Amino acid sequence: MISPWVLHRHRRLWQNPDAFDPSRFLPNAPAAPQFAYLPFGTGPRVCIGAQFALAEATLVIARLLQSFFVELADSRPVRPRAIMTTAPEHAVPFRLKPRKR
């Protein structure tokens, strides 16, 4: 069994593995080692909706950020909880403030 939770936080594979750092996936960032990041699994049982999920998330987030400033509405830290997938340990309230057009 391979645990993505452990793999995605392995100190030999990632610099500062517990930090939320989306910049590590930018086109000019160093490539992650093969099979070090498996958000949708791999091999014959890879999630069939992976490409759609990535495209949909990109479009939804881009549209939201065009229209709103997003900020946490609560001072509690957001910590991950390892279950079958990764989820926050509590509901995370956000405040959306409209951007001026």
Contacts 24+ apart (CB under 8 A), 5-10: 5/82, 5/86, 7/35, 7/36, 7/37, 7/38, 8/36, 8/37, 8/38, 10/36
pLDDT tens digits, one per residue of 6-49? 888 899 999 999 888 989 989 999 988 889 998 898 889 899 99
The pTM of the whole model exceeds 0.85: no
Give the bridge partners for 70, in sequence order.
96
Q: Are 14 and 31 in contact (CB under 8 A)?
A: no
Pairing of strands 80-82, 86-88: antiparallel
The structural domains of the chain, with segments of one domain joined by +, span 1-38, 48-101
